[in-house]
Amino acid sequence: MEGHCLCKQVHFSVSDDIVTVVNCHCNLCRKMNGSAFSTYVVVQEPQFHLLSGEVKSVQVSENASKQYCQHCGTPVYNKNPKLPGLTIVYLGAIDCGVNLTPVMNIYCESQLNWVTEIATLTHFEQGVS
Ligand SMILES: [Zn+2]
Ligand SMILES: [Zn+2]
């Protein structure tokens, strides 16, 4: 599988030998990504190859760091020494990420209440003008 940031300067590949796909509902991910929860594709470190472009690294907690494109800001992957040997890739950065399905929710103790109700909201095929 291949991946790109929004501006396409960062180009990477990941083996489709995925460890897991998770929705993380923790407060750190919510804050650092500005989203209700974050979906990650976890792969073994050697399975991730940065093919071109550069990522900037920012320390987001005592342990965790977030790597993002310095030009367009797309988050690419996270690293955490507490999860040795793993690279935590952002599902949205993987080109075929839309075809991947999370298999678990983690840090549900901080999950927003409305997340479980999302399917019951009024749906529009496109934005509302
Ligand atoms: Zn970019
Ligand atoms: Zn998290």
> Which of 42, 125, 36, 32 is CA-nearest to residue 83?
42
Q: What is the pLDDT of residues 42-88, one digit of tens each?
A: 999 999 999 999 999 999 999 999 999 999 999 999 999 999 999 99
Residue type, 63: N
What pLDDT is stored for residue 16 in this prediction? Answer: 84
The radius of gyration of the chain's CA atoms, rounded to the nearest angstrom, is 15
List the strands of the sheet with 2-4, edge to edge.
2-4, 11-14, 48-52
CA dihedral 41, 45, 49, 55 (to 10 degrees): 80
**Structure token digits, residue 14:** 């990941």
* Distance between CA atoms of residues 129 and 118, nearest Å: 21
Instruction: Look at residue 129 and tell me whether its pLDDT is greater than 90.
Output: no
Distance 128 CA to ligand 2 centre (A): 30
Task: Spell out the residues 6+ positions from residue 59 whose beta carbon is closer than 8 angstroms to its own.
Answer: 65
Q: Which numbered ligand comes closest to the C-alpha of 75?
A: 1
Burial (CB < 10 A; 0-12, 13-18, 19+), residue 10, is: buried
Q: pTM of the prediction?
A: 0.95
Q: Which residues surround ligand 2, an ion (CB under 5 A)?
A: 24, 26, 29
Distance 29 CA to ligand 1 centre (A): 20
Domains of the chain by range and CATH?
2-120 (2.170.150.70)
